[in-house]
Structure 1
Amino acid sequence: MNLLPSGICFYLSVAICWLTAEVDATWWYMGTLGSQVMCDNIPGLVNKQRQLCRQNPRVMQAIGAGMKDWISECQHQFRSHRWNCNTTARDHNLFGRLLLRSSREVAFVYAISSAGVVYTLARACSQGELDSCSCDPTKKGSSRDAKGSFDWGGCSDHVEHAMRFSQAFVDAKERKERDARALMNLHNNRAGRKAVKRFMTLECKCHGVSGSCSVRTCWLAMADFRRTGDHLRKRYNGAVQVAVNQYGTGFTAAHTHFKRPSKNDLVYLEDSPDYCIRDHESGSMGTGGRVCNRTSRGVDGCEVMCCGRGYDTSRVSRTTKCECKFHWCCAVHCRDCHQQVDVHTCKGQT
């Protein structure tokens, strides 16, 4: 019987075959033995990762199920760029040979995936999906904010626990190496984890006579993951090219006119390819066939997206809802409107 879970395997900083939501139920029924066999057969894990994998099979399942969320966020952030966080299931990892480089795109992938592990795990804890964690147990008693005193209640997301597990698991392989790429990965992993914590917000519920707020019950909640994605996208824009310092323990800016990176910055070691043409060695999928905006002068414009190769135009029919009217009570009735639109797609390389 094949005890390895179904789904997509890919190599990231932890060299792990992340589990997808469609995990073979047989594996879960086999308990400890099943988790040991599964974890021992994932290629590339270091001993620390195998140990954590065996001890936390449900955590691994939760992380795998949340994988699609951070990949979707990555693709949203770069939907209009030459590199659009595209994935492929035909290679040994979701991003092909791109991850062998040390570019700013790889820096973003590591940061958003590390953030995704924290977000997914903290959410699973708060929703009672895991036996090993729940709501943040430190949020008890009373506290104060700018509006006055309040009582801790509800369910505060246990982000600290999620960050500790993510650091222990995701960083384990990199900590066995002391080269420049390992330092780069560790830095961007940490920046991703910190980004989730950055957007924790205090949410409160009022109690009192006639809706007065004489007593407040509050809890800390993670913001929507989109805010983390937006933040890391800005960090990508301002990513710092670095070189390892003379002691091999940290970074210096690769160019004298660059700032020294902070703990929140993304860092990278080498320039990116232009992603114009398909190139297996660099991990570039090219922009041939990508939809572009003929009237835009930005990165989504046909001139930039197509790298000067030109574009093809085709007319397609699209159906949209139109002339919507509200009918009492309570329905909205719309017509289906058909329109012909021009779609522009980049020519392939010649």
Structure 2
Amino acid sequence: TQTSSLAARITAPWYVAKITPRYIGALGARVICDNIPGLVNKQRQLCQRYPDIMQSVGEGAKEWIRECQYQFRHHRWNCSTLDRDHTVFGRVMLRSSREAAFVYAISSAGVVYAITRACSQGELKACGCDPLKRGRAKDERGEFDWGGCSDNINYGIRFAKAFVDAKEKKVKDARALMNLHNNRCGRMAVKRFLKLECKCHGVSGSCTLRTCWLAMSDFRKTGDYLRKKYNGAIQVIMNQDGTGFTVANKNFRKPTKTDLVYFENSPDYCVMDKSAGSLGTAGRVCNKISRGTDGCEVMCCGRGYDTTRVTRVTKCECKFHWCCAVRCKECEDTVDVHTCKAPKRAEWLDQT
């Protein structure tokens, strides 16, 4: 089983994301890339050859981590990061769980999104707008001319595949196959939400002529989609010849190319368990009246919760004044905040 996650290779050492192009030029791409731990030779070569792309990948990493934390903000596992841990998410990534499957997919998607966006914004030497979107084409509304700047999604996918998959292809084991499958799910998820945007030309804005281009949707759509795939992730086992998967439970359907797959059941994430990478839910805010995953009963794992009364200051009674300002009053609001109780010490010690 591999011990370093995609997140570790893309995010944790990404001080690269904070390095300006001038700094890269001063130090040299070779020096920077040689000091990123966990990269295989092919990844180092790509890093040295395309330092501007690596910088975009580093910026994109921040975006997909934020999206991961948004998607799981109401769950026991909330995609929390560990600042001092080189794997970013800690030991939770060592288990071949559905959480690991989601992280590989969303991070792979984030790399595609970041590179494609940088291509369209003219930030990269190796790519620009999609060169194939030229001439005339047709959709359900009729013919149109390709124009503007279509997002070069195929370049983003090709580079992400070459860079992200390189380490998995060095190892021929079950976890590597799982990671490759989920990486592909993430890459294809971004392409799924490409949309055609058009500008009308003609008398009084009529659409007798249209100029159109392909654009990526907001990354939130990809996050929402992969979150649903997480919910429906399929537990698998290796087939007999070790070349692919089969379902662990014969009563379930076989996974398709768009399904996330995992091998191991997740821990319950209720209490701190260093071996499983669980941070526990002690101190997490919960919703007293919810019956969902954010509810105190579920979030606190039946341990109960503490209630603290706090006073919040918010803006209220906002009015628009001509011209052109919005003025608000400050209102005080007293609310009860519920936080999960810590487990009893004996219970906690059993898990550490």
Q: What TM-score bracket applies, with the shorter chain setting the length?
A: over 0.9
Q: Contact (CA 8 Å) 2:135, 2:146: kept in 1 or not?
A: yes
In the aligned structure 1, how far is the partner of 2:207 from the partner of 2:21?
48
- How far the C-alpha of 1:118 sits from its partner, in A, is 0.2
Q: 1:134: which partner in 2?
A: 128
- How far the C-alpha of 1:190 sits from its partner, in A, is 0.1
Q: 2:324: which partner in 1?
A: 330
The counterpart of 2:183, out of the listed 185, 189, 192, is 189
Q: 1:299: which partner in 2?
A: 293
Q: Which runs of 5+ in 1 are unaligned?
A: 1-9
Q: Could you state the TM-score of these two structures normalised by the residue count of structure 1?
A: 0.94
Give the residue type in structure 2 aligned to 1:203: E
Secondary structure at 1:206's aligned position in 2? strand
Q: 2:262: which partner in 1?
A: 268
- How far the C-alpha of 1:259 sits from its partner, in A, is 1.0
- How far the C-alpha of 1:15 sits from its partner, in A, is 3.2
Q: 2:207: which partner in 1?
A: 213
Q: 1:69: which partner in 2?
A: 63
- How far the C-alpha of 1:326 sits from its partner, in A, is 2.2
Once the two structures are superposed, what CA deviation does each residue of 1:208-263 show, in whole Å capped at 9, x if it has no partner? Answer: 11111111000000000000000000000000000111111111001111110000
The counterpart of 1:258, out of the listed 247, 252, 256, is 252
- How far the C-alpha of 1:24 sits from its partner, in A, is 6.0
Q: 1:223: which partner in 2?
A: 217
Q: 2:308: which partner in 1?
A: 314
In the aligned structure 1, how far is the partner of 2:108 from the partner of 2:6?
10
Q: 1:177: which partner in 2?
A: 171
In the aligned structure 2, how far is the partner of 1:21 from the partner of 1:257?
45
The 5-angstrom pairing of residues 48-127 of structure 1 reads 48-127=42-121
- How far the C-alpha of 1:13 sits from its partner, in A, is 6.5
In the aligned structure 2, how far is the partner of 1:138 from the partner of 1:244?
39
In angstroms, what is the RMSD of aligned CA positions? 1.4
Give the residue type in structure 2 aligned to 1:279: D
Q: Contact (CA 8 Å) 1:13, 1:173: kept in 2 or not?
A: no
Once the two structures are superposed, what CA deviation does each residue of 1:158-180 show, in whole Å capped at 9, x if it has no partner? Answer: 00000000000100110111111
Q: Could you state the TM-score of these two structures normalised by the residue count of structure 2?
A: 0.93
Give the residue type in structure 2 aligned to 1:174: E
1:46 maps to 2:37: no
Q: Contact (CA 8 Å) 1:292, 1:344: kept in 2 or not?
A: yes
Q: 2:14: which partner in 1?
A: 18
Secondary structure at 2:9's aligned position in 1? coil
In the aligned structure 1, how far is the partner of 2:135 from the partner of 2:193?
23
Sequence identity of aligned pairs in percent?
67
Q: 2:142: which partner in 1?
A: 148
- How far the C-alpha of 1:278 sits from its partner, in A, is 0.7
The counterpart of 2:26, out of the listed 12, 26, 30, is 30
Secondary structure at 1:275's aligned position in 2? coil
Once the two structures are superposed, what CA deviation does each residue of 1:144-168 show, in whole Å capped at 9, x if it has no partner? Answer: 0000000000000000000000000
In the aligned structure 1, how far is the partner of 2:112 from the partner of 2:15?
16
Give the residue type in structure 1 aligned to 2:181: H
Q: Contact (CA 8 Å) 1:178, 1:248: kept in 2 or not?
A: no
Secondary structure at 1:73's aligned position in 2? helix
In the aligned structure 2, how far is the partner of 1:333 from the partner of 1:105?
45
- How far the C-alpha of 1:21 sits from its partner, in A, is 3.5
In the aligned structure 1, how far is the partner of 2:132 from the partner of 2:8?
30
- Between stretches 45-54 and 73-82, larger displacement belongs to 45-54
In the aligned structure 1, how far is the partner of 2:293 from the partner of 2:24?
46
Q: Contact (CA 8 Å) 2:16, 2:32: kept in 1 or not?
A: no
